[in-house]
């Protein structure tokens, strides 16, 4: 039996959210290969350790903000994961015949390629493969390095046969899917991400694909536009095999409110098996789908916090970005959650095309008056999204600049200084709201 190491390399950033580090894509690959008689081990290095590291040269422009810190900006850059040497030792302990590297976001491709280069030197005889959302949006970028035998794009269920051939050395280059997965092919995977004294955190995905067209979204690149849900029988089977004590299940990157009845059915089934389970939607859900009666049902079933994503408040910006808006509904939803004593964070993006410092401040002033915390996400592009279809720019600029935390003015709508100022104002508002 061939042994395959599935490796998520260490990353560097100002922050990382361990309870969201499920690496579900890598786990789907592991599942698929195990069903095909491979022995696999997942190395999820970003979850393992964190250590202060040097600020990358490309981010030199952030130094003044880090040095003159008033407590509202990041203090240090960190490596999430072991040193390369220690990673090597861990992988060596498994003695793999093949290594598949997984990249969940293009923004981390510099670290990813440094790690691939290191492995190639340390394990010259072991073929290297690569896949994941970060690869799928620009596979040529990775192929041309000559480090990777075969570069995999899209969902494992759709390219499985070719992946098996590639692992045997029968295909090289780039493997692209000719279709997206069907509903009955979808596996249910739930990953334990973190345990605290009070809670055991899990992350999962109930659906794939989204028919909407928000210009800033990259979901369609891997998952396509057809919405599909995981069959409930598969979820029930897995949940019954687990011991979910004091669990919180996070539905990650899931536009699951497109199937409200399905979601209620899933939550009811889980509560029946493990009544003390709670739920969250860390990456945000669309408030437009939240009717008062539905919120009531979700709260009664154990949803403990609502992270709502709005894109922006400015109507013009939303229209340009093809994101529907219904401000009265947002106000009504946030107030209803307050009445129920349910925490709520409203997320918006600063630095979209046609945004300005004034419009961003306007959005924050509006949110300041509402009973919610403000989640501000500086805009960052993914190769292939609207406005960034021409991928040449990603060859000219360092991928490090595509991290949200790099505050890079990709759309020239807010400067770095303004993006950071807005970020600090949001934190200040949140701190004062938390005090009250």
Burial class (CB in 10 A: 0-12, 13-18, 19+), 88: middle
Taking the CA atoms of 359, 362, 366 and 367 in sequence, report the sign of the dihedral they define.
positive
Q: How far is the CB of 218 from ligand SF4 (least distance, A)?
A: 8
Asked if 174 and 159 count as a contact pair (C-beta separation under 8 A), the reply is: no
Of positions 205, 214, 230, 385, contacts ligand SF4 by CB under 6 A: 214
Q: How far is the CB of 395 from ligand SF4 (least distance, A)?
A: 25
Q: Decide whether 3 or 226 has the Cβ nearer to ligand SF4.
A: 226
Binding mask of the shown chain, residues 243 to 262, with x at each position contacting ligand SF4 by CB under 6 A: ------------x-------
C-alpha 300/C-alpha 320 separation (Å) is: 37
Q: Decide whether 44 or 286 has the Cβ nearer to ligand SF4.
A: 286
Q: How far is the CB of 363 from ligand SF4 (least distance, A)?
A: 17
Per rule CB under 6 A, is residue 176 in the interface with ligand SF4?
no
Closest residue by Cα to residue 310 from 354, 374, 356: 374
Window contacting ligand SF4 (CB under 6 A); options: 13-21, 71-79, 208-216, 373-381: 208-216
Per rule CB under 6 A, is residue 212 in the interface with ligand SF4?
yes
Asked if 96 and 167 count as a contact pair (C-beta separation under 8 A), the reply is: no
Per rule CB under 6 A, is residue 417 in the interface with ligand SF4?
no
Of positions 210, 330, 336, 350, contacts ligand SF4 by CB under 6 A: 210
C-alpha 351/C-alpha 409 separation (Å) is: 7
Closest residue by Cα to residue 10 from 115, 117, 152, 130: 115
Per rule CB under 6 A, is residue 217 in the interface with ligand SF4?
yes
Binding mask of the shown chain, residues 283 to 312, with x at each position contacting ligand SF4 by CB under 6 A: ---x--------------------------
- Give ∠ CA 96-190-177 in degrees, rounded to 5: 65
Tokens of 363: 């959005």
Report strand pairing: 77-80 vs 50-53: antiparallel
For residue 357, give every residue at least 6 positions away whose Cβ sits within 8 Å of its Cβ, in sequence order, or none. 414, 418, 421, 422
Q: Decide whether 255 or 280 has the Cβ nearer to ligand SF4.
A: 255
Window contacting ligand SF4 (CB under 6 A); options: 76-84, 131-139, 214-222, 382-390: 214-222
Window contacting ligand SF4 (CB under 6 A); options: 21-29, 138-146, 211-219, 365-373: 211-219
Q: Decide whether 210 or 247 has the Cβ nearer to ligand SF4.
A: 210
Q: Decide whether 110 or 228 has the Cβ nearer to ligand SF4.
A: 228
CB atoms within 10 A of CB 425: 18
Q: How far is the CB of 78 from ligand SF4 (least distance, A)?
A: 28
Half-sphere exposure of 82 (CA within 13 A, CB side): 14
Q: Decide whether 214 or 344 has the Cβ nearer to ligand SF4.
A: 214
Window contacting ligand SF4 (CB under 6 A); options: 157-165, 212-220, 240-248, 376-384: 212-220
CA distances from 218 to 72, 213, 365 (A): 29, 10, 28
Q: Decide whether 211 or 292 has the Cβ nearer to ligand SF4.
A: 211
Torsion angle, CA of 52/95/162/178, rounded to 10 degrees?
-20
Report strand pairing: 278-280 vs 247-251: parallel
Q: Decide whether 173 or 211 has the Cβ nearer to ligand SF4.
A: 211
Window contacting ligand SF4 (CB under 6 A); options: 206-214, 382-390, 401-409, 426-434: 206-214
CB atoms within 10 A of CB 146: 8
Q: Decide whether 27 or 208 has the Cβ nearer to ligand SF4.
A: 208
Contacts with ligand SF4 by CB under 6 A: the residue count is: 7
Per rule CB under 6 A, is residue 207 in the interface with ligand SF4?
no
Per rule CB under 6 A, is residue 334 in the interface with ligand SF4?
no
Per rule CB under 6 A, is residue 219 in the interface with ligand SF4?
yes
Q: Decide whether 349 or 372 has the Cβ nearer to ligand SF4.
A: 349
Closest residue by Cα to residue 395 from 214, 145, 171, 75: 145
For tokens 């992946």, name the residue: 163
C-alpha 259/C-alpha 222 separation (Å) is: 20
For ligand SF4, the binding residues (CB under 6 A) are 210, 212, 214, 217, 219, 255, 286
């Amino acid at each position: 039996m061939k042994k395959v190491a599935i490796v998520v390399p260490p990353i560097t950033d100002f922050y990382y959210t361990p309870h969201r580090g499920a690496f579900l894509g890598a786990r789907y690959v592991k599942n698929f290969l195990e069903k095909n008689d491979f022995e696999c081990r997942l190395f999820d290095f970003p979850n393992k350790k964190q250590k202060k590291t040097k600020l990358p040269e490309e981010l030199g422009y952030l130094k003044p903000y880090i040095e003159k810190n008033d407590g509202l900006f990041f203090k240090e850059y960190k490596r999430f994961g072991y040193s390369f040497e220690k990673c090597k030792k861990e992988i060596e302990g498994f003695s793999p015949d093949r290594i598949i590297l997984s990249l969940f976001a293009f923004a981390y491709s510099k670290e990813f390629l440094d790690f691939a280069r290191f492995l190639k030197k340390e394990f010259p005889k072991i073929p290297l493969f690569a896949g994941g959302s970060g690869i799928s949006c620009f596979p040529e970028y990775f192929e041309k390095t000559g480090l990777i035998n075969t570069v995999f794009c899209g969902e494992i269920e759709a390219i499985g046969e070719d992946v098996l051939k590639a692992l045997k050395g029968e295909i090289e280059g780039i493997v692209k899917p000719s279709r997206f997965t069907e509903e009955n092919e979808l596996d249910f995977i739930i990953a334990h991400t973190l345990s605290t004294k009070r809670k055991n955190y899990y992350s999962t995905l109930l659906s794939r694909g989204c028919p909407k067209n928000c210009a800033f979204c990259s979901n369609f690149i891997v998952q396509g536009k057809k919405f599909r849900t995981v069959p409930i029988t598969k979820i029930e089977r897995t949940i019954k095999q687990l011991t979910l004590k004091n669990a919180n299940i996070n539905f990650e990157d899931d536009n699951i409110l497109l199937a409200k009845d399905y979601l209620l059915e899933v939550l009811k089934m889980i509560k029946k098996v493990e009544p003390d389970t709670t739920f969250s939607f860390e990456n945000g859900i669309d408030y437009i789908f939240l009717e008062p009666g539905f919120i009531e049902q979700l709260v009664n079933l154990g949803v403990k916090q609502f992270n709502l994503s709005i894109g922006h408040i400015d109507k013009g910006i939303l229209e340009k970005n093809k994101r529907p808006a219904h401000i009265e509904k947002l106000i009504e939803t946030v107030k209803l959650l307050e009445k129920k004593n349910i925490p709520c964070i409203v997320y918006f993006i600063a630095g979209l095309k046609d945004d300005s410092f004034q419009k961003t401040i306007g959005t924050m002033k509006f949110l300041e008056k509402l009973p919610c915390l403000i989640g501000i996400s500086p805009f960052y592009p993914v190769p292939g999204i609207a406005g960034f279809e021409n991928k040449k720019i990603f060859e000219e600029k360092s991928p490090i600049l595509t991290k949200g935390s790099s505050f890079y003015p990709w759309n020239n709508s807010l400067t770095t200084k303004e993006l950071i100022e807005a970020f600090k104002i949001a934190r200040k508002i949140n701190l004062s709201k938390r005090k009250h």
